[in-house]
Chain A
Amino acid sequence: MLDFSILINNLDTYLEGFKNTVLASIIALIGSFIIGVIVAVMRIAPIKPLNWIGSVYVEFIRNIPLLIIAFFFYIGLPAIGVTLSGFVAGTIALAIYTASFIAEAIRAGIQSVPKGQMEAARSSGLTYLQAMRIIILPQAIKIVIPPIGNQFINLVKNSAILGMIAGLDLMYFGDLVSSHTFVTFDVYIFVGMFYLVLTIPLSLGVGYLEKRLARSH
């Protein structure tokens, strides 16, 4: 049987980690969404250099491990004089990494809106940015919600890498509990349960949205 006394005796530790995992996820979620939208707009804006920058960002970040980005912010940046705590470095890395996937999802969404709409909006006197904000983005958002939702689930799972740079998250504290109690199996099962408490509702929500949006099309 699972030894629930481990959970009870170390509940404060678990909850501290859980709190930081939630916090890192929320901050990275907002950050990645903002960066993702900016990069997506850069990729499709009618200005070539912006397209290139956006493409380089997406292609490069998507194709390297999150761990390298996290290590870079944690122990690479101090080499040039910027020191970030594990929590901050990890959260920034998460936002930057996830943003590349979100940008790609948004770009696909925007490009699925017929080109004619942009032309019509422009000819009725809106600037490019206005047309984007008022006409295109609201439609695109509906299409991109399910893939973005999936990226957010991935983000929560990926936040576990904070544990590798002393980011004080669930994984980090789970690890501490296990090295101090000399129990691993039960400790990690509890860690897993805490993650499921976060990810299962998210999955349910994304599944629900997917179903609803599929119906409305």
Chain B
Amino acid sequence: MDIAGALSVDNLKFLADGFKVTLYIAFVSIVLSFIIGIVLGTLRYAKIPFLSKVVALIVETIRNLPLLLIIFFTFFALPEVGIKPSITVAAISALTIFESAMLAEIVRSGLNSIDKGQIEAARSSGLTYTQTLWHIVMPQALRRMVPPIVSQFISLLKDTSLCVIIALPEFMHNAQILYAQNVNYIVPIFIVVAFMYFIVNYCLSLIARRLESRQV
């Protein structure tokens, strides 16, 4: 083990560059999948003839596939049919597709958890279905969804590491380049990388827990 060599200033800077990419990719994917997840989850909840079924089909299929396969597919298979994303676009798309499906399910069960009596009451007081959904059901459901959504974001941040297979210059990838220099770097580099992930994700999970406890 060569701790001093592995964790030289240059190497740490290089790791930090990778971590920035990880955070950037995760952030963009989080924002996109949050929006798409809410739309898909609501569409599925609303039981619109045909459309809800199609959404359900897509969401269930994606949810049941490994993210790694989706990343592979986006970058290596889509070019075969004429869609040619760059590495960054492929990484963001794959993460967004997968996490949107996961979030859609959280949104749907959040909406389902709201008492049906409230909907009936709102409807009988003259609100349209859409108004009821938007003003009555969604705000309550969103509050309940916050903890599982934050956990999903933690997953997303961790899952970004899978993009190493398409050579996205993120955290894990830069770690690989570093331990390629010297076999004695492997363990120290792993420890640093694990701790960086831990610190960020643990803080996120503390936030989730605080939000959860405030609700009760």
Contact = CB atoms under 8 A, between A and B. Distances in A.
* A, B co-complexed: yes
Interface of A: 59-60, 62-68, 71-72, 75-76, 79-80, 153, 157-161, 163-164, 171, 174-175, 178, 183-185, 187-189, 191-192, 195-196, 199-200, 203
- 8 A-B pairs with the lowest CB-CB distances in the bound complex, closest first: A160-B66, A63-B201, A199-B64, A65-B158, A65-B161, A160-B68, A185-B77, A185-B80
B201 A178 contact: no
A192 B161 contact: no
B77 A188 contact: yes
Q: Is the interface of A mostly helix, strand, loop or mixed?
A: helix
A59 B66 contact: no
B69 interface: yes
Nearest to A197: B64
B64 A203 contact: yes
B29 to A, nearest CB: 15
B65 interface: yes
B104 to A, nearest CB: 14
A157 B154 contact: no
Q: Is the interface of B mostly helix, strand, loop or mixed?
A: helix
B28 interface: no
B212 to A, nearest CB: 11
Nearest to B68: A160
16 contacts: A63-B158, A64-B194, A64-B201, A68-B193, A72-B194, A76-B186, A161-B68, A163-B68, A175-B72, A183-B80, A187-B77, A188-B72, A192-B73, A195-B65, A199-B64, A200-B60
A68 B65 contact: no
Nearest to B22: A65
B183 interface: yes
A64 B198 contact: yes
Nearest to B61: A196
A175 B71 CA distance: 13
Interface string B144-161: 000000000010001111
